[in-house]
Amino acid sequence: MEKLHSLLILLVLCSVASSGVARNPQQVEKWFSEVAMAEQKVTRLHFYFHDIFDTTSVNVANAQITKTSPTKFGMSNIMDDPLTVGPEFHSKQVGRVQGLFSSSDMDEFSLLCAMTLVFTEGKYNGSTLSILGRNPTLQKHREMPVVGGTGVFRLARGVALLDFYYFDVPAGNATVEYNVIVQHY
């Protein structure tokens, strides 16, 4: 009986600890009613994004002009890429980048990106950040807007600063360093 009692206490403690993100409508409504009194937080994140053509990033559509366009205008890909702590592909994974990107500039290689950073480890596990905007891919330093988030990052806004760590143009593979700064509640 004592073991059952201890197991029950442990189960309750684990369920309380794992419920850091409100999921039901009543909890979310309560959160929004209290957010006006809450203080904004600033969170800085650093990780690496690995885009591997035909493995974690797949071409799903091309316009007629794509084959002859120097900027691959009209190319559309979908991705489910790993986010890692270090630049090595096999370093600890902390999440995934899921979304799509399309070549959207006829004059320079630039992508329109709609992506969600899905965190799968640590205190951000289950939370997301959404990035939507233009990515002038051939520039060494790039800035993209963070337009929202869920979980810990509910109502997030900020910027993602991108730098190539590795880029193999012919193969279409890249490792990109991300420094993300977001405000959230």
Q: Name the maximum alpha-carbon separation found in the chain.
A: 75
Asked if 128 and 119 count as a contact pair (C-beta separation under 8 A), the reply is yes
What whole-number distance in Å separates Cα of residue 127 and Cα of residue 137? 27
Residue 15's pLDDT band (boundaries 50, 70, 90)?
A: very low
Q: What is the pLDDT of residue 165?
A: 92
Classify domain 22-184 at the CATH topology level: AOC barrel-like (2.40.480)
Whether pLDDT at 168 is above 90: no
Whether pLDDT at 23 is above 80: no
Q: What is the pLDDT of residue 28?
A: 84
* Cβ neighbours around 113 below 10 Å, total: 22
Q: What is the pLDDT of residue 8?
A: 39
Whether pLDDT at 20 is above 60: no
Whether pLDDT at 177 is above 90: yes
